[in-house]
Structure 1
């Protein structure tokens, strides 16, 4: 009977197999919500299953029977969970909890750093142009968030491409895509079997942003061309400085399996004299 407890631990396997097909076939907003919710639910369910196994092993201990005032013989007769199973489940549960807490702490710190960086940028609007010849564009979460674009990126695109690219980045902020990716990464940290789901969420938020941009521009092909040209610009002119890993992890560009055309960072690098932000007029 206790084998039923192991079923929640097996659910992530079909979820991992179905993640990519769902990400490609469902509407991007629906796929994002579905995959993120399922990933969190499966991670929580697997932790609960491990906890049940741990408790089932603990109640078989003589000290636990003495403290709880129950019959140890009756418990052992009705419970077939061995001490080895309970010990393994306990180790896995501790590892999952530690990984989850560590990931949550990193995400909170990265989000706080992004909000602080957004608050430091000049200009009352949501668009800030950075004086830098290296093509770059990213959405910076905050209260409010900011879309940061380098002069090099603006020079690499024409007017129609700029409109599509900016609509894409603004969609990331408007739909809070960084929150979806952070939640999916948290689930994957607690249960590594859910990593394909986290990668699929990174893909669906890019599709979501593209759909919003296409609605804004009224031309789906224009959005595709703009994203392709922006991607080529960033490929031919790699960034001169490394953006902190934890900050990149806030949004989907940090996921190696993401096939989105243009990286969209959750926070910008620290300010330096070589990159002076100026408000977009």
Structure 2
């Protein structure tokens, strides 16, 4: 436990360095899975590590140690963690739990409202057209979900671009991109060091949707032009009218194409050949997750032995 319990915390300093390479060099769907898994596993592991460190501080307090029939004296002698470290871990653990609970509550409430909003919106083939001069388009997850497009966006794009836009937004719904974003944000809520991973997921789900649109139309260049054209139109619009359900979009807010991710990077990626799975990055991510899981299990085993030792009195 002297080393293993701290390893997930150390890996959280290293993992964000891989967020940009994964999002830029790896196929978007695989990148989304890897980034989401990394954020969730590392967020969970660091929370567990903080909890174990906090426990080593609690068993040094005689009143609390007595509840578990442990020896506070032996704990003070055999515990590998300094009391100050245990106290800091306890404070950080409290903050992580509060932030994670807050994120779960907000996301659950948002998605529930989204499902209700989507069910109430009249649609044709899952598409809702709203009277709004501001060019806009976004997806509302639900059962079923809805694609909302403003008349301003429809007037900006031609028929081919309409199909591309709808393919992009429908990809968000069919692939349940809101789930990936929510899980990555949960991991980042538990450990703020992981925010770059959550930010990268919001980009890779857009890239994933772009690639789906390119696959359905067979014209990557046209998709790139549509993404750029829609983004510029939305950016140049002087006013935008919010719809109550817009905050229920894929990113937990109204998902304008200008806000969905770095548009120039998306356009450049579409103009380049499709990305591969990049075995080296995939293997490195898998190794990081395996090291995190093994170190957490080892630390838990060491804590169990410590509790057995201080309980033998």
Tell me the TM-score range normalised by the shorter chain. 0.7 to 0.9
- Three-state SS of the structure 1 residue aligned to 2:123 is coil
**2:262 equivalent among 256, 259, 263:** 259
The CA RMSD over aligned residues, in Å, is 2.3
Corresponding residue of 1:213: 213
Q: Residues 134 and 237 of structure 1 are in contact (CA less than 8 Å); yes or no, is this contact kept in structure 2?
A: yes
Q: Residues 138 and 169 of structure 1 are in contact (CA less than 8 Å); yes or no, is this contact kept in structure 2?
A: yes
Closer, same or farther in 2 for the Cα pair 1:155/1:171, shift >3 Å? same
Corresponding residue of 1:279: none
**How far apart are residue 258 of structure 1 and its match?**
2.9
Distance 1:8 1:72 in 2: 27
Cα deviation, 1:127-150, whole Å, max 9, x if unaligned, reads 111122211111111100011111
**How far apart are residue 47 of structure 1 and its match?**
0.4
- Three-state SS of the structure 2 residue aligned to 1:133 is coil
Q: Which runs of 5+ in 2 are unaligned?
A: 265-313
Corresponding residue of 2:268: none
1:188-227 paired onto structure 2 within 5 Å: 188-227=188-227
Q: Residues 126 and 145 of structure 2 are in contact (CA less than 8 Å); yes or no, is this contact kept in structure 1?
A: yes
**How far apart are residue 242 of structure 1 and its match?**
4.6
1:152-171 paired onto structure 2 within 5 Å: 152-171=152-171
2:248 is the alignment partner of 1:247: yes
- Three-state SS of the structure 2 residue aligned to 1:2 is coil
Q: Which has the higher contact order (CA 8 A, sep 6+)?
A: 2
Corresponding residue of 2:72: 72
Cα deviation, 1:30-62, whole Å, max 9, x if unaligned, reads 000111011100000000000110111111122
Q: Which runs of 5+ in 1 are unaligned?
A: 262-281
Distance 2:70 2:49 in 1: 23
- Three-state SS of the structure 1 residue aligned to 2:261 is coil
- Three-state SS of the structure 2 residue aligned to 1:128 is strand
**How far apart are residue 2 of structure 1 and its match?**
2.0
- Three-state SS of the structure 1 residue aligned to 2:47 is helix
Distance 1:164 1:257 in 2: 16
Cα deviation, 1:184-232, whole Å, max 9, x if unaligned, reads 1111111000000001101110110011000111101110011111111
Closer, same or farther in 2 for the Cα pair 1:100/1:260, shift >3 Å? farther
2:139 is the alignment partner of 1:139: yes
Closer, same or farther in 2 for the Cα pair 1:117/1:103, shift >3 Å? same
- Three-state SS of the structure 1 residue aligned to 2:262 is coil
**How far apart are residue 88 of structure 1 and its match?**
0.8
Cα deviation, 1:109-161, whole Å, max 9, x if unaligned, reads 11111111111111352111112221111111110001111111011011111
**How far apart are residue 80 of structure 1 and its match?**
2.9
Distance 1:187 1:228 in 2: 31
Cα deviation, 1:66-116, whole Å, max 9, x if unaligned, reads 333333333222113222211111110000000011011111111111111
**How far apart are residue 183 of structure 1 and its match?**
0.9
